[in-house]
Structure 1
Amino acid sequence: MSSLGGQPILILKEGSQRTRGRDAQSGNIAAAKAVASAVRTTLGPKGMDKMLVDTIGDVVITNDGVTILKEMDIEHPAAKMMVEIAKTQDDEVGDGTTTAVVIAGELLKRAEDLLDQDVHPTVIAHGYRTAADKAQDILDEIAIDVRPDDMVLLRKIADTAMTGKGAEAAKEKLTELVVKAITMVADAD
């Protein structure tokens, strides 16, 4: 952006639109919610697989949120942020990508309801930060320590983490391997 006689000059690509204010907010929220909607049906024990076909005709069938989002050709900046949520979740945790995107979409949906009631965006953001702090406090309260010698609990955790990951055929053996690996590298306090 440059200026001419104190007036800014904005150059946009052909066919693009410029929106401001509430219209821009609505457009951004709609784009982000569309991304969340695309992966929502893959969640849970009855989650459905998606069949993805790329530009050269290769087919991928998956219910992995990050895989689905990586394959989508997304141009909208707000929608791209939803993809970044999934990538960050995948990089940091290795699981929960779909859940993270669906929760973000639901938070945006609720924020849109508040915007429609003329609640200022900074008030909404402050409310979400306060809620996140409270949720962290509650998680800290209900968290339990897991000792490296608590084999029953370690097996339950490993078993739960593998549920729905396509490991059902070898789940018992994998659970034993995971628990064995954890106990070998755990810092005994």
Structure 2
Amino acid sequence: MAGMGGTPVIILKDTRRETGTEAILNNIMAARAVANAVRSSMGPKGMDKLLVDSIGDVTITNDGVTILKEMDVQHPAAKMLIEAAKTQDKEVGDGTTTVAVLAGELLKRAEMLLDQKVHPTMIVKGYRIAADKAVEIAKSIAFDAQESDRPLLERIAKTAMTGKLAESPDSRMAGYAVDLVLNAMED
């Protein structure tokens, strides 16, 4: 069909507007599908994913952010979950899969509460209270690492590198990372 001046006009036939609980449950389902797509790539026994894009290029990876970036999703809630993971990658450089899986689990629990007729506003309020408590607990157990505690710094470096390298990081790599950071602090 052509509109004014020969510009094609596209009419969407299969659009529909959802409201209420049906819309909430569909949003949860879409976001959980994204989370489940990356869940099996987590941890030391995480599986690689074979990704094929629209032109046939193949990527094999177990990196959560790569998997999420390659996903072509149309659902707004699923897109929001992917954007949250991308933001995590941009700001921190790690934890993208964790963000997606954690959000998926929170949504799963929210869905269970909705099934028990708990109002969405109360669920959100409960999650806010839980987030505040989690931050409070994290702050209460946090401590500053000292430059003089080299074994601790190397363990931190090793933990941070796990999952980012093809192999598990060895002590030498962790030591190099600590040296670089300490040298940068001196400069």
Give the TM-score taking structure 1 as reference length. Answer: 0.88
Q: Which amino acid letter does the alignment assign opposite residue 139 of structure 1?
A: A
Aligned to 1:166: 165
Q: CA deviation at 1:105?
A: 0.5
- 3-state SS of 2:65 partner: helix
Q: How big is each residue's C-alpha offset from its partner over 1:56-78, in whole Å with a ceiling of 9 and x where there is no partner? A: 22111101111101111100000
Q: CA deviation at 1:183?
A: 1.1
Aligned residues: 176
Aligned to 2:63: 64
Map of 1:12-161 to 2, 5 A cutoff? Answer: 13-161=12-160
Q: How much is the aligned-residue C-alpha RMSD, in angstroms?
A: 1.6
Alpha-carbon distance in 1 for matches of 2:60, 2:125: 40
Q: Percent of aligned pairs with the same residue?
A: 60
Cα distance 1:81–1:89, how it changes in 2: closer, same or farther (>3 A)?
same
Is the 1:90–1:96 Cα contact (8 Å) retained in structure 2?
yes
| Structure 1 alignment gaps of length 5 or more | 1-11
Alpha-carbon distance in 2 for matches of 1:123, 1:66: 31
Alpha-carbon distance in 2 for matches of 1:155, 1:176: 6
Q: CA deviation at 1:45?
A: 1.1
Q: How big is each residue's C-alpha offset from its partner over 1:75-110, in whole Å with a ceiling of 9 and x where there is no partner? A: 000000110111011011111100110000010110
Q: CA deviation at 1:55?
A: 1.7
Q: Which amino acid letter does the alignment assign opposite residue 133 of structure 2?
A: K
Is the 1:114–1:124 Cα contact (8 Å) retained in structure 2?
yes
Aligned to 1:4: none
Cα distance 1:101–1:169, how it changes in 2: closer, same or farther (>3 A)?
closer
